[in-house]
Structure 1
Amino acid sequence: MANRFRELREALGWSRDRLAAEAEINPTTVWRYENGTAPLLNDAARKMAAALGVRREEEVLLPPTSSAARLIGRVGAGAEVYPIDDGSETIPAPPTVGDGIAVRVVGTSMVPAYREGDVLFAEQAADAPEVIIGRDCILQISDGRRLVKKVLRGSEPGRFRLFSYETQDISDDVELVWAAPVRWVLRDP
């Protein structure tokens, strides 16, 4: 059954383990509730709701709120994001993303990580480097290009290296304007 446990937990910035500790239940139980495989009206659900600050049970029983992501382009060869018209097209975003950005994969240059037709969702640009290191990100580098790359540490603070799935190469140090970690991938069936 759809519920808002994950959405409410993430809004607080809590991990599943933190919610489990606050509610005094097992982390596996939290996972079962968030994925809709556990009955909602029992003691464990009430403990989770109380830990999350929910005052009425119906707040949890509502389906997750929907949000939209702005489709900013298509990503293809070289992992470069090619803008789509004026960038005003939006698509429904997964519940864990919130309002954010998305790109659609075209071609096979990003295999094995991503396939043609996949939509990559990112929430917002991350300010802290530790949030992006080792993560696939939709990003913009100082020369103005937008790319989808795995971000690695550079040789000095404020510099980064970028990993390419297509060539398996790692770039020289670059300066990022912004980077938004990929949070969700919608697979084209």
Structure 2
Amino acid sequence: MLPDVEPKYPNGLREALQRAGMTGSELARLLETNRQNVSRWVSGTRELVPAVAQQIAPLLQTTSAELLLLRSTERFSVPLGGKIVGGGAIDVSTDQHEPGLEYEIELSVRVPDATVAYQVIGESMMPVYRPDTVIICRAHTKVIDPLVGKELAVATVDHGRMLKVVHPGSTPGHYDLSSFNATTMRDVRLEWVARIAAIIPADEWRILERRSQVNADMRTRLQKPSKRQK
């Protein structure tokens, strides 16, 4: 019997696959990579780099920190800018607040270049963005054309904040916005866009109050549904 060999690049992918009830082949298909790559990550013969761990984490409903076996007790906070939707239109007009005015969220892993977080709402985002997932974004920018073709957090002039893939519109300054489960929005005007730095599952973050006195109604709206009083 051969002795157990310590993996060269240990990680938590095997356990995460088992918890999610997913096979390596299924994960490879979702990542659009080959089965050998996943096998090497699982066995620890190939390094699971942070960028790949961030892609895998939402598919397995875990965090990149868990996949990378990061057990640091250091906490990291990001201003909470409000709520964001990703599928069909949802009225979030009362929740469109500027970043960091009253709340921040605390994470168990540091996200480089994190600027603001948005709380996903609405069932239309499943299975990619489950309700109460938090999207960590880099800085807002009004320079949109270099980011065309990417999935971004966007602020529209008429429809609030959304998670969309941005495409050129029919006229300059207008853009088509698509998502995997909603009709494409045509010729939308954008106030800003922001690149997505990380996707954090609902049980891996918590809200912190940044002011000693906050509006009680706002606090209720920002709570996770499971924490709200019936």
TM-score by length of 2: 0.46
Higher mean C-alpha displacement, 139-148 vs 174-183: 139-148
Equivalent position amino acid for 2:136 in 1: F
State how far apart, in whole Å, the 2-side matches of 1:175 and 1:79 are: 17
State how far apart, in whole Å, the 2-side matches of 1:156 and 1:95 are: 40
State how far apart, in whole Å, the 2-side matches of 1:164 and 1:177 are: 19
Equivalent position amino acid for 1:100 in 2: T
State how far apart, in whole Å, the 1-side matches of 2:116 and 2:139 are: 7
1:83 aligns to 2:96 (yes or no):
yes
Q: Secondary structure at the match of 1:155?
A: coil
State how far apart, in whole Å, the 1-side matches of 2:124 and 2:195 are: 19
Unpaired stretches in structure 1, ≥5 consecutive residues: 1-30, 36-62
State how far apart, in whole Å, the 1-side matches of 2:126 and 2:160 are: 21
* Cross-structure match for 1:132: 147
Q: Is the 8 A contact 1:68 1:98 kept in 2?
A: no
Q: 1:112 to 1:132 in 2, by over 3 A?
A: farther
Q: Secondary structure at the match of 1:109?
A: helix
Q: 1:72 to 1:170 in 2, by over 3 A?
A: same
1:179 aligns to 2:193 (yes or no):
yes
Q: Secondary structure at the match of 1:121?
A: strand
Measured after TM superposition, the shift of residue 69 of structure 1 is 2.0
State how far apart, in whole Å, the 2-side matches of 1:171 and 1:107 are: 18
Q: Is the 8 A contact 2:119 2:132 kept in 1?
A: yes
Q: Secondary structure at the match of 2:129?
A: coil
* Cross-structure match for 1:106: 121
4+ residue runs over 6 A deviation: none
State how far apart, in whole Å, the 2-side matches of 1:176 and 1:75 are: 15
Q: Is the 8 A contact 1:135 1:182 kept in 2?
A: no
Q: Is the 8 A contact 2:170 2:187 kept in 1?
A: yes
1:115 aligns to 2:130 (yes or no):
yes
Q: Is the 8 A contact 1:80 1:146 kept in 2?
A: no
State how far apart, in whole Å, the 2-side matches of 1:88 and 1:132 are: 30
The aligned runs of 1:1-189 (5 Å cut-off) are 32=47, 68-76=77-85, 78=89, 81=92, 82-83=95-96, 87-92=101-106, 94-143=109-158, 145-166=160-181, 168-189=182-203
Identity %: 22
TM-score by length of 1: 0.55
State how far apart, in whole Å, the 1-side matches of 2:154 and 2:79 are: 15
Unpaired stretches in structure 2, ≥5 consecutive residues: 1-45, 51-71, 204-230
